[in-house]
Structure 1
């Protein structure tokens, strides 16, 4: 009998040791501000009776302790996607700069103006496409910063940094040339000759 009690005590002690990391995860600071929904945090079990009681409390409050971390983990990818989308939207590519990278093109100036004045305040950050030459990258960042400081409203300090995202845009002159050639070479809409002769 003493041996059975000793084995049961050892098994309960092992349970307490094994479940400690799980309790630390689910009852830790993963609730992201919804501690009331998660319920009260159980205290570490001191005896086998305390451990059984704490397990009873956890089972009684199920699934509240698990809902909060699941919600946080479900929302995290969406926040990342929104952040990446705004990083691409506010990306300054090589076609936004003139040849020496010390001046912005008209398209670059318009883009900086839109970011500083029209974009939501939380996303008024500019990202410069990283060049192979670090000196060119730093020159472009300095160029964007100076222009943004000149047009900034309410003394807002512009946030400019480099990024590894590659801009997929093209110079505005190239786009205008393609559209102009398309319009100039359009065929005149007319019916073929002799279309109504058989009527």
Structure 2
């Protein structure tokens, strides 16, 4: 009897050791397989370098320029205060031509008109209504451009100032002069 209980206890201990070893072995096997999987991934990643990162690098370079393009289109499509009549907010001829260009010729993704906010809410609403009235006259493929109010005034200058700057530049420009020798080193036509 004593012998049976000894073998029974030994059997219980063997079962416990077996279960413990199996669970530790399973965990160790998982770690071992995970390690070699990571080694394989690292090997493939090193061999593929720099291809996986080219697109991210390109996007990092392009993103600031996309923001600049968007801001440029916003300023280009902005109808400034000088393109509206004072008081009633009606569009002048230059404003009508700008709105017509935006509605007809601007790329479809850039067809949005921005109106500079006026001093009063009533005048701003009159400006927006004037732009919408002009837009309603155009029939084109696709929806009409949207109209938004902005506080950013596009940089402009008067025509008189631009003419003055251009004339001053032309007056200071050196007169054209032909070279005294040709490219071959012989005397040029001006010396004969």
Shorter-chain TM range is 0.5 to 0.7
Gap runs ≥5 in structure 2: 1-30, 164-192
2:99 to 93, 96, 112: 112
Please list the CA deviations of residues 44-92 of structure 1 after superposition, one character each: whole Å capped at 9, or x if unmatched: x972222222111211111111111001111122222222212111110
1:40-51, aligned counterparts within 5 Å? 47-51=34-38
Alignment RMSD (CA, Å): 3.1
User: In structure 2, do the counterparts of structure 1 residues 178 and 66 end up closer, same or farther at CA, with 3 Å as the change threshold?
Assistant: closer
Instruction: Specify whether residues 88 and 140 from structure 1 end up closer, same or farther in structure 2 by C-alpha distance, changes over 3 A only.
Output: same
Aligned in 2, Cα 1:131/1:66: closer, same or farther, shift over 3 Å?
same
Measure how far apart 1:132 and its partner are.
4.5
> Take 2:109 and 2:62, find their aligned partners in 1: how far apart are those partners?
18
Distance (Å, rounded) in 2 between the aligned partners of 1:47 and 1:178: 71
Matched, 1:142 2:129: yes
TM-superposition CA deviations, 1:6-49 (whole Å, max 9, x none): xxxxxxx9xxxxxxxxxxxxxxxxxxxxxxxxxxxxxxx97222
Task: Give the length in aligned residue pairs.
Answer: 135
Query: Where does structure 1 lack aligned partners over 5 or more consecutive residues?
Result: 1-12, 14-44, 180-199
1:131 is the counterpart of 2:94: no
User: Who wins on radius of gyration, i.e. which is larger?
Assistant: 2
- 1:119 partner SS: coil
Secondary structure (helix, strand or coil) at the match of 1:162 reads: strand
TM-score, normalising length from structure 1? Answer: 0.57
CA distance in 2, matches of 1:83, 1:125: 11
Tell me which protein shows more helix as a share of its residues.
Answer: 2
Alpha-carbon distance change, 93 to 101 in structure 1, aligned in 2, over 3 angstroms: farther
How far apart are the structure 2 equivalents of 1:49 and 1:131? Answer: 68
| Alpha-carbon distance in 1 for matches of 2:141, 2:40 | 59
Q: 2:69 aligns with which of 82, 106, 112?
A: 82
